[in-house]
Amino acid sequence: MGATVFVSGALYATVLTGTIWLGIPAGFLFFFAIILPHLPKNRIAAFAVKYYTTGPMGVALAGAYIWSFAVRDELWKFSSDFFGVCAQIIPVLLLTTVVEARRDAGLPTVTLVGPLAILTTGEVVALAGILKPSWGLFPPVAGAMTGGVAALILSVLAADAEE
- Which amino acid appears at position 142 of this protein? A
The pLDDT assigned to 101 comes to 79
Both 9 and 62 in one domain: the answer is: no
Q: Say if residues 154 and 45 touch (Cβ distance below 8 Å).
A: no
Both 68 and 81 in one domain: the answer is: yes
Both 117 and 147 in one domain: the answer is: yes
Both 52 and 108 in one domain: the answer is: yes
Domain count, the chain: 2
Stretch 86-115: mean pLDDT = 83
Please give the C-alpha separations between residue 8 and each of 13, 90, 152, in angstroms, as whole numbers. 9, 31, 26
Both 58 and 28 in one domain: the answer is: no
Confidence of residue 135 (pLDDT cuts 50, 70, 90): confident
Both 34 and 58 in one domain: the answer is: no
Both 4 and 57 in one domain: the answer is: no
Q: Say if residues 49 and 39 touch (Cβ distance below 8 Å).
A: no
Expressed as residue numbers, the domain containing 124 is 40-160
The pLDDT assigned to 1 comes to 47
**What's the gap between Cα 25 and its chain centre?**
10
Q: 82-86, 102-106, 136-140, 155-159: which range is least confident on average?
A: 102-106
Q: Say if residues 161 and 104 touch (Cβ distance below 8 Å).
A: yes
The pLDDT tens digits of the residues spanning 9-64 come to 555 555 555 555 555 566 566 666 666 677 777 777 888 888 888 888 888 888 88
Three-state secondary-structure class, residue 51: coil
Residues 126 and 29: their CA atoms lie apart, in Å, by 25
Both 27 and 87 in one domain: the answer is: no
Both 109 and 31 in one domain: the answer is: no
Both 15 and 67 in one domain: the answer is: no
Both 93 and 62 in one domain: the answer is: yes
Residues 88 and 82: their CA atoms lie apart, in Å, by 10
Both 52 and 130 in one domain: the answer is: yes
Residues 78 and 100: their CA atoms lie apart, in Å, by 31
CA dihedral 40, 42, 44, 45 (to 10 degrees): 160
